[in-house]
Amino acid sequence: MALELIAAIVAAIAFAGMFLALNKLLRGRLPKWGMTVSAGIGLIGTTVWLEYDWFNRVSAELPDGVKVVWQSVESMPLRPWTLVAPITTRFIAMDTRQIAQHPNNADLRMAKVFNFGRWRPVSNALMVFDCAGGRQILVSDGVEITEDGTLKGANWVNAPEGDGFQAAACAAG
């Protein structure tokens, strides 16, 4: 966050400097308020670019085998540019390298998922998938899977059609 603030300030100074250089070339013919407007354009433009580029930067740094399975693309009235081009503010990635298969039920898989959010710390959780039944559950306290693969302490949730979580977990292994 601090580096993004510094980048925005540097961009504001650079845009104001370019305006100043152009004004010198034109022998002072540009209005005085132009430097302030140029600095504002640099500041706002850099901030908007950093917001839109956040998902690409963070997802590109994920190690091999950690796959993005869901992303939230949003439009926000307080960021009017997102009404034209929605922005990714959150996404979930799954570690497909370490998907565990139940020893007595090959259709049950368990995977670690990571929740990324703009300006939020990364959190992680475990999910269990029933590949044959098209079901899944987020593991929490009190959830237990027996030796035969029966779930205790919670109810399965049916995976929606085309669910990225289910597809990634069941494709592995």
In this structure, the answer to whether residues 141 and 96 fall within a common structural domain is yes
Residue 70: φ, ψ to 5°: -160, 145
Number of domains in the chain: 2
* Rounded-to-integer distance, Cα 86 and Cα 59, Å: 17
Digitized pLDDT (tens) for each residue of the chain, 173 residues in all: 788 899 999 999 999 999 999 999 999 899 999 999 999 999 999 999 999 999 999 999 999 999 999 999 999 999 888 999 999 999 999 999 999 998 888 889 999 999 999 989 999 999 999 998 899 999 888 888 888 877 888 888 999 988 999 999 988 65
Q: What is the pTM of this model?
A: 0.83
Compute, in degrees rounded to 10, the torsion defined by CA atoms 155, 92, 125, 147: 50
In this structure, the answer to whether residues 96 and 45 fall within a common structural domain is no
Q: Is residue 144 part of a domain?
A: yes
Helix, strand, coil percent values for the chain (each to nearest 5):
40, 30, 30
Q: Is residue 81 part of a domain?
A: no
110 DSSP β-pair partners:
100, 128
In this structure, the answer to whether residues 56 and 94 fall within a common structural domain is no
Q: Is residue 117 part of a domain?
A: yes
Q: Is residue 80 part of a domain?
A: no
Q: Is residue 79 part of a domain?
A: no
Q: Is residue 68 part of a domain?
A: no
**Placement of tokens 């992303």 in the chain:** 71
Q: Is residue 24 part of a domain?
A: yes
Q: Is residue 47 part of a domain?
A: yes
Domain that holds residue 38: 2-61
